[in-house]
Structure 1
Amino acid sequence: MARTSKKSKKPAHSNRKYILGFWTLFGIGLLVAVFIFLLAGWGAFGKMPTFEELENPETNLATEIFSSDGETLGKYYNENRTPIKYDDLPEHLVQALVATEDERFYQHAGIDAKGTVRAAVYLGTRGGASTITQQLAKLLFTEDVSSNPFARVLQKVKEWIIATRLERQYTKEEIITMYFNKYDFVYQAVGIRSASKIYFDKEAKDLNIQESAVLVGMLKNASLYNPVRRPEMVKARRNQVFEQMARNGYISETEMDSLQQLPMKIEFTPEGHDEGMATYFRAYLQGFMKEWIEENPKPDGSEYSLYRDGLKIYTSIDSKMQEYAEEAVKKHISHIQKEFDRQNESNPTAPFRDIDNAEKENIIESSMKRSERWRKMKAQGKSEEEIRKSFTEEAEMRVFSWNGTIDTVMTPRDSILYYKSFLQAGMMSMVPQTGEVKAWVGGANFKHFKYDHVKQGRRQVGSTFKPFVYATAIDQLKFSPCDTLPKTRFTIEAGKHGNQNDWSPKNAGDSDYEGMVSLKSALAQSINTVTARLIDKTGPQPVIDLVGKLGIQTDNIPAVPSIALGVADISLFEMVSAFSTFANQGVYVKPVIVNRIEDKNGTVLYQHVPETRDVLSKEAAFVTVNLLEGVTQYGSGVRLRGTWAKGRQDYERAVTGYPYDFKNPIAGKTGTTQNQSDGWFIGMVPNLATGVWVGAEDRSVHFPTITYGQGATMALPIWGMYMKDVYSDEDLKVSKEGFERPENLSIEVNCENYGASKETDNSVPDELDF
């Protein structure tokens, strides 16, 4: 047996060829690997970032819109990313990241050798090998590839090379910051700052440890670990992050146990273009910025990008005043809509009035042809018959309501009627002395109603035009508020002032034509015959010249006397800025929406310079304001004082928040068009002018009577609710003082001892021409 054993023993030199073969193959493999890395580094397998690109990695930075009080109103972006600095990252957020994604982050130089070996041996079942730096390399410079194994290996090689270069180029803190700023947390939350705002409605620096753990947990797969759709799964993932933090000594076992028991709280605040605060303003601002970009190129001649260059736009909007304005519109319009719907229940042409079925069908037809459905189907080559048929087929829809979006089934044709039945509102508030626009509400809901009733909409202004006629008479003829004119019927004959026919305006209710009335009472009661007498004295052209100087487009205002009663279509934007001139002692200031624009580095690119012009004397402006104060003292605006001569229950039922009980001086004017399709109120205190319009998209959609269809019921309550909130916020410093009286005022405004005052009628009639 021993001899046999000795014969079977192989000499040592017989294994040399295997050992030599192994090391030869190993060497060849190593050389191939090195060669592959070299080729990858030289760009043989796809473009690699240059030194300059590593120094300044390309990122799409959102343009951020700030309010005058420093709040973020919204953003313009391709990717909703607003970068922040390392110092703005809470310590527990960084610790959670390192503990969960890369335990040896501070020890390696971009590639974790231990983790790579472990991943290779266990085929990834005990964790991957990608370091934070590798993940950043993938986010910045590589793209997802197909499931082809060879392509995936090449991509991993490229990630390793870029990761090592990033480690040489940046500090660990900079790498962490770049990673947090680049990651897409879904729901248009690109970067940690956007994610913090969207999921928790706070800045990243204010995140608590639970919130930090939620966001770090999402880094594994943000679409899968989505706190809005899968809260229980995200909570479990959050608790795993706590375990990792405890394992790495960032928190104790006791702290981990306590944190894991806490409920997960999400404050989901989307930042889409259709959502958030001041949506209509942001849409208008977008147009402003596009024009500015076209006129202001970069130093190298290229254009700024509103969606990628990270501009900072500092606007005039005050976030609190905007909030109060939006709340006032929502509160009142949603309330009065109920009455509007009730009155339409027995209306055969609802929601339209004063038209027949043929006219109703024409409106629907026109709306169909303007719709996105029609445009898309037409582009697909569909016939008009096919397109029309599609409007009568039921479909699942998500439609607007004042109680939130409703999931329903209706035909597109019915949806047109449904949306046309809603009352809309426009509201703008500005500082007369600076022109700064402080609040801008363009409609009921921007997501569902894109049309902006502040700047885009132009509607008949009714009696809110009358102060321009009075101001012209005061400026030209030195009329006093105490001067009186007869209320009797008055006719301006054909041929006079460009009139083609005789013009004989009627007063409200076609009654009350007796006696004399002071100008102050005439404007307060909106007496049409007195306004007609005034424009007859001044002529229509001087009135048009005045409103043109006040910033109103006059191209479509004919030089005829009937303009005195407000037949012209004017935007709310123009009306508020024009009225502001009266409060600013006759000086027109062009409205301001942007105070400053900066680039991503804080360099000032634009600084607003006020545009002003003298329009009226201080005396004429003050006397006009004095007239307008009469409207809220004993005219259609008396409801702001908490009193109403008739105490009408229908009005009190219609208006939320009545009475308002303001004691301070307020100058203003209501306005109502002939068929109640437009209700207006523009009110001013010394340092704030605010205008409100209420109506529907189509002028044939309106209240049947003046009880609800007047400006004092439709628009004035929004002003009242807004100003109550504004005054309750002492930080806003909105004036309760009287309007500044010019020195050496030569026109009498105190009617107590004025000669004709005894013939003045200051009573409030049962019905006013609002």
Structure 2
Amino acid sequence: MLKKFFKNKWVKRISYLFLFFIIVVAGFYASIYVGFWGEVPTKKELSDLKQSQATQILDKDEQLIGKFYVFDRQSVTYNDLPKPLIDALVATEDVRFYEHDGVDNQSLLRVFFKTILLSDESSGGGSTITLQLAKNSFGRKDYGSLGIVVNKIRESIVAQRMEDIYSKKDILTMYFNTVPFSDNTYGIESASLKFFNKHTKELSLPEAATLVGSLKANHSYNPRLFPERSQLRRDVVLQQMVKYGYLSEKEGSDAMQSKIELDYQYYAPNQGVAPYFRENIKKKVEKLLKDKDYLKPDGSNYNIYRDGLKIYTTLDLTMQKYAEEAMQKHMAKLQQTYEDAYGNRAPWLTNKKILESNLKKLKRYQQLQAQDLSEAQIKDSLTVKKEVELFEWNENKVVQASTIDSLQHYLKFLNSGMVALDPENGAVRAYIGGIDYRYFKYDHVSQSKRQVGSTFKPFVYTAAIENGMEPCTYFPVKEVTYTDMDDWTPKNAGGLNDPDLNYSLEKALSNSVNTIAVKVMNEVGIEKVIDLAHKMGIESEIEEVPSIALGTENLGLLELAKAYTSFVNESKPTTPLFITKIEDKNGNLIFENEPEEEEPEQVYSDYTRQVMLEFMKATINEGTATRIRNIYGLSNDIAGKTGTTQDNKDGWFVGITPKLVTVTWVGNDDQRIGFSSTGIGQGANSALPIFGEFMQELNRDEDFNSITQAKFETPDDEVLNDLDCELSKEDGFFKKLFGGEKDKKEFKKEKKKKGGIFSFLKGKKEEDDE
């Protein structure tokens, strides 16, 4: 009978199918085990985990800025972990922790079957304490639809290897030192200090249960944001402890009678000061340490999370704090002004194209789209409201909001970038990539390129002076229509268009006159301007179009800062410097940033540099940046340039002192959203105040006297004599009568001889028409 049963063709097919399934599963597991899906840490690598040390990032005075680590040896030891804390974790997260070998096979199989066979991405589960430690230590990778299965199996292999190497006490200690808690806090010691202002060993039973309870969902059970929900979760933890015999009924009941009382400390080691700078340093060091010249003695690569390196940077920690305070103080005020000016007309509320395009960039939108949902179904899903915490300048708020609500909320925020360089050696002294790294990860110093507005004009004027144009050359301020450029008519801010008024170069640059900037570039030649800009440190490609004189080119903040260092560094641009040296945990030198063997090239003359500094001093003293003196009361030696781009999209300010070059930028991350008016968006109002507040703080600190009290060199007599002229003048009666505009044919002939700026367009030699 049994023999006949197995001869049945359907039984045979099912048996073969089951056998095939077993082979596929075994092969799939083997492919992960041997590293087909990515390298799995070996036992040797895992044995080093306990000995890992945090990599320290140090400022120029060797003050600690931050750390990179998986296991921070300065964290708590097993003896610092109170018994109620350990019992709470085991009772809640892994009741068989002391019995298994790191993997709960039943839960793992459940995840496999539900995910593969039922396509249930929410199957979750199966995580023992050791599995969670494996995930925390090595992270997860994106493997597409098989991601959760591959990662779970990979973690199970790592977990079993960990159990072979470490004792249960070691695993608990490493887990508590790496696990993430609420408010982006990592490690039990940090969480204890943040939420209760006490060390781990001092935690009471209810406090320990509260922190363990938050591990299930860091945000949802955040005791600061949701105290009632957190307390309910805490009570569940206490009930679990009673259920599994870690507490008596009375002990559990007494603990549940207490209310959560926080002593919250606004400090987070993983945030802290200079988060954008630290992230930039991490990328640079990781890239550097892949180089074969910087391997360990055994030939392997250094790991910044485990090898206890010391990274010595150029940042000045105190200066960085002043810069962040200045940015935050100004941006909070500016944001309110910005929103009030728009009112109900705000583009993040009314412009459907802006909202739609940003919506489609969201990961959640793309996930729903991948499920073949219709546009209407996706929108329905994204309009479901839930309790979320939203960033605000004064204080974050918890509200009921949908994904679309959150998107509109974050679209409204202005962002900022700032860098301060030592012009002599390029050392980065302060670095701000955005307004808050927790919510805005994009780095506007190292990643962003924006139109630079009038901050490009000094390159035009530098090229003009360098090519023989006299400082007291005058140009009419009147508008000119360039017919061979589709009737392009550059206009001046404030409607300046007096047909009889002429400005000197100093007056034109210090007051940022657009019409004259274009005329100056036309006179010197666009190719010469672009060539000099590149020599000064602009690495981005610059399109040969006349509008670059007004700053329509997209450039990076760092390259702009580099170019401006030449004005106070003997006409030599200085490359930004971030890292001075790297040592291993024993103090052995791994890398040192050595000075260049060849002296940097002087890209323009001392005469030109001195003239340009005088022009930009005038910008501060009587030009577009007089707020430096009038509002912020800064009496320091300062030169500078403001910048405002088309439709008030970007505001810029470059502040130059003899010992520090600072560039600030303000704008919306979505370049389609500008300021509602020039009054609010102009660089003097949007970006300059950050520099003003920053310099005020430096002035108050005597430690920075060498910077704040530094003086510009006295210009040569030749420069002073060549600048000794009226800043503006009007055409007299006889000049109007006899020296008026050339007629078109005569003008075209003269410009052809000089090689006007429009001759290059579309490969044709076209004529200029003014």
The reply to whether TM is greater than 0.5 is: yes
Q: Is the 8 A contact 1:589 1:613 kept in 2?
A: no
1:686–1:222: structure 2 CA closer, same or farther, 3 Å change rule?
A: same
Q: Is the 8 A contact 1:186 1:223 kept in 2?
A: no
- The residue type paired with residue 548 of structure 2 is I
Tell me which residue corresponds to 1:10.
none
Q: Is the 8 A contact 1:688 1:734 kept in 2?
A: no
- Picking from 609, 624, 628, the partner of 1:636 is 624
- 1:748 maps to 2:734: no
1:568–1:596: structure 2 CA closer, same or farther, 3 Å change rule?
A: same
Aligned partners of 2:176, 2:404: CA distance in 1, in Å?
43
Aligned partners of 1:390, 1:469: CA distance in 2, in Å?
53
Moved more, 294-303 or 278-287: 294-303
- The residue type paired with residue 587 of structure 1 is K
- 1:487 maps to 2:451: no
- Picking from 409, 417, 420, the partner of 1:418 is 409
Tell me which residue corresponds to 2:636.
664
Q: Report SS of the residue matched to 1:718.
A: helix
1:362–1:490: structure 2 CA closer, same or farther, 3 Å change rule?
A: closer
Aligned partners of 1:704, 1:468: CA distance in 2, in Å?
29
* Structure 1 segment 82-481 matched on structure 2, within 5 A: 82-84=72-74, 184=177, 187=180, 200=193, 211=199, 214=202, 223-224=211-212, 267=265, 269-272=267-270, 275-296=271-292, 297-299=294-296, 300-347=298-345, 350-351=347-348, 360-380=351-371, 382-477=373-468, 479-480=470-471
Tell me which residue corresponds to 1:675.
647
Aligned partners of 1:468, 1:593: CA distance in 2, in Å?
26
Tell me which residue corresponds to 2:674.
702
- Picking from 613, 621, 641, the partner of 2:609 is 621
Aligned partners of 1:516, 1:328: CA distance in 2, in Å?
38
1:380–1:604: structure 2 CA closer, same or farther, 3 Å change rule?
A: farther
- Picking from 539, 547, 554, the partner of 2:533 is 547
Moved more, 467-476 or 619-628: 619-628
User: What displacement does 1:731 show?
Assistant: 1.6
- The residue type paired with residue 398 of structure 1 is E
Q: Report SS of the residue matched to 1:713.
A: helix
- 1:506 maps to 2:491: yes
Q: Report SS of the residue matched to 2:360.
A: helix
Aligned partners of 1:197, 1:759: CA distance in 2, in Å?
63
- CA displacement 1:345-376 (0-9 Å, x = unmatched): 241x5337xxxx6xx32222221221111233
1:572–1:758: structure 2 CA closer, same or farther, 3 Å change rule?
A: closer
User: What displacement does 1:512 show?
Assistant: 4.1
- CA displacement 1:83-125 (0-9 Å, x = unmatched): 35xxxx9xxx99x959989xxxxxxxxxxxxxxxxxxxxxxx9
Tell me which residue corresponds to 1:568.
553
Q: How high is the TM-score relative to the length of structure 1?
A: 0.65
- 1:520 maps to 2:506: yes
Q: Is the 8 A contact 1:544 1:554 kept in 2?
A: no
Q: Report SS of the residue matched to 1:589.
A: coil
Aligned partners of 2:43, 2:372: CA distance in 1, in Å?
51
Tell me which residue corresponds to 2:544.
559
Tell me which residue corresponds to 2:150.
none
Tell me which residue corresponds to 2:132.
none
- The residue type paired with residue 351 of structure 1 is W
Q: Is the 8 A contact 1:619 1:742 kept in 2?
A: no
- Picking from 695, 701, 726, the partner of 1:757 is 726
- 1:592 maps to 2:577: yes
1:412–1:76: structure 2 CA closer, same or farther, 3 Å change rule?
A: same
Q: How high is the TM-score relative to the length of structure 2?
A: 0.65
- CA displacement 1:323-365 (0-9 Å, x = unmatched): 1111111111111211221122241x5337xxxx6xx322222
1:688–1:144: structure 2 CA closer, same or farther, 3 Å change rule?
A: same
Aligned partners of 1:678, 1:220: CA distance in 2, in Å?
49
Tell me which residue corresponds to 1:533.
519
Aligned partners of 1:605, 1:276: CA distance in 2, in Å?
27
User: What displacement does 1:588 show?
Assistant: 1.2
1:82–1:616: structure 2 CA closer, same or farther, 3 Å change rule?
A: farther
- The residue type paired with residue 369 of structure 1 is K
1:509–1:69: structure 2 CA closer, same or farther, 3 Å change rule?
A: same
1:723–1:375: structure 2 CA closer, same or farther, 3 Å change rule?
A: same
- CA displacement 1:464-497 (0-9 Å, x = unmatched): 11111111112121533xx041324364856xxx
Q: Is the 8 A contact 1:582 1:625 kept in 2?
A: yes
1:758–1:434: structure 2 CA closer, same or farther, 3 Å change rule?
A: closer
Tell me which residue corresponds to 1:74.
66
1:411–1:479: structure 2 CA closer, same or farther, 3 Å change rule?
A: same
Tell me which residue corresponds to 1:730.
702
1:532–1:308: structure 2 CA closer, same or farther, 3 Å change rule?
A: same
User: What displacement does 1:586 show?
Assistant: 0.9
User: What displacement does 1:305 show?
Assistant: 2.2
Aligned partners of 1:430, 1:532: CA distance in 2, in Å?
30
Can you give the 5+ residue segments of structure 2 that lack an aligned partner in the other structure?
1-41, 88-96, 107-161, 216-221, 232-260, 731-770
Aligned partners of 1:690, 1:218: CA distance in 2, in Å?
50
The percentage of counterpart residues that share the same residue type is 32
1:449–1:268: structure 2 CA closer, same or farther, 3 Å change rule?
A: closer
User: What displacement does 1:453 show?
Assistant: 1.6
User: What displacement does 1:52 show?
Assistant: 9.4
Q: Report SS of the residue matched to 1:609.
A: coil
- The residue type paired with residue 318 of structure 2 is K
Q: Report SS of the residue matched to 2:304.
A: coil
Q: Is the 8 A contact 2:412 2:668 kept in 1?
A: yes
Tell me which residue corresponds to 1:236.
none
Tell me which residue corresponds to 2:57.
65
- The residue type paired with residue 675 of structure 2 is F
Q: Is the 8 A contact 2:54 2:309 kept in 1?
A: yes
- The residue type paired with residue 202 of structure 2 is V
RMSD of equivalent CA atoms: 4.4
User: What displacement does 1:581 show?
Assistant: 1.6
Q: Report SS of the residue matched to 1:679.
A: strand
Q: Is the 8 A contact 1:585 1:622 kept in 2?
A: no
User: What displacement does 1:463 show?
Assistant: 0.9
Aligned partners of 2:177, 2:437: CA distance in 1, in Å?
26
- CA displacement 1:109-158 (0-9 Å, x = unmatched): xxxxxxxxxxxxxxxx9x99xxxxxxxxx99x9859899xxxxxxxxxxx
User: What displacement does 1:710 show?
Assistant: 1.1
Q: Report SS of the residue matched to 2:720.
A: coil
Q: Is the 8 A contact 1:399 1:408 kept in 2?
A: yes
Q: Is the 8 A contact 1:619 1:745 kept in 2?
A: no
Can you give the 5+ residue segments of structure 1 that lack an aligned partner in the other structure?
1-49, 102-124, 129-137, 148-161, 168-175, 202-207, 233-262, 643-658, 762-770
Q: Is the 8 A contact 1:344 1:351 kept in 2?
A: no
Q: Report SS of the residue matched to 2:624.
A: coil
Aligned partners of 2:438, 2:494: CA distance in 1, in Å?
41
Aligned partners of 1:616, 1:215: CA distance in 2, in Å?
65
User: What displacement does 1:618 show?
Assistant: 2.8
The size of the alignment, in residue pairs, is 577
* Structure 1 segment 13-24 matched on structure 2, within 5 A: none
Moved more, 694-703 or 432-441: 694-703
Q: Report SS of the residue matched to 2:343.
A: coil
